[in-house]
Amino acid sequence: MRMDVLLIEDRGPVRVLTMNRPEKRNALNNVLTAALLEALRGADADEAVNCVVLTGAGPGFCAGADLAEFKDLTPEHEHLVERRSELTMNLHHVFSRMTKPVITAINGAAMGGGAGLALGGDLALMAESAKIGYPEVKHGIVAAIVMPNLVRQIGRKAAFELVATGQAIDARRALALGMVNRIVPDGELMSETLALAGELAAVSRPAMAATKELFYQVLELPFGEALAAGREANQRMRAFRK
């Protein structure tokens, strides 16, 4: 079943993960969420993989949480609520813990938890026709687990507007806000993403791992502590030089 909902393909040192529930706009049910988490961790542990690409099958990237499962997430089923929240949190946290870079290829609408995945990658390329949004408030819920990363990436005012209005934005606006790195014509999205992935895959693996570790570390540190962490990383890198 997991192979059905998540396609895994290696293009040399690049592993492509394709969410494969196109009839549901790749909505995240428990099975797909768990499969993604397992596949991302697996790619990071695989010595043959140097970079990961995440995209969606069909016209959408990811519609967010599968609303069909919400009927069971009630106070009477507290254990199910806790399990789903923990699984979702771990999925959105895994990107920053990986040693290998992840590029998201946003091929279509990325909503709610799908928007969180789109921004979760280290780099993001967005098809020019795609849209991204956080519509949770329109359903009477909160964009909760995806909010910390959103605020860190685009700032308070823009982030609050997105989560408070629930309005989707187009690729041009997403680029202006710094949510994505590039806008790509729809038909060229995967070719350009794979070209970028190939560049990243060619980088020294220890250097890339150290870059990612330091990058996410300094995000959370005061400036002086961040400089000290950079100094320590600089000293460690001497051992990586060939």
Question: What's the rounded Cα separation, in Å, for the pair 4 and 28?
Answer: 13
What token pair was written down for 185? 């014509």
Closest of 202, 12, 195 to residue 103, by C-alpha: 195
What token pair was written down for 44? 């990071």
Strands 110-111 and 6-11: unpaired
- What DSSP character marks residue 106? E
Question: What's the rounded Cα separation, in Å, for the pair 32 and 28?
Answer: 6
What Rg value do the Cα atoms of the chain yield, rounded?
18
Q: Which residues of 86-124 are buried (b: 16+ CB within 10 A; e: fewer)?
A: eebebbbebbbebebbbbbbbbbbbbbbbbbbbbbbbbb
Question: What's the rounded Cα separation, in Å, for the pair 32 and 178?
Answer: 28
Q: Is 76 a catalytic residue?
A: no
Q: Which of 38, 76, 86, 136 is catalytic?
A: 136
Question: What's the rounded Cα separation, in Å, for the pair 29 and 114?
Answer: 12
Beta-bridged to residue 53, according to DSSP, are 16, 103
Q: Which residues are identified as catalytic?
A: 136
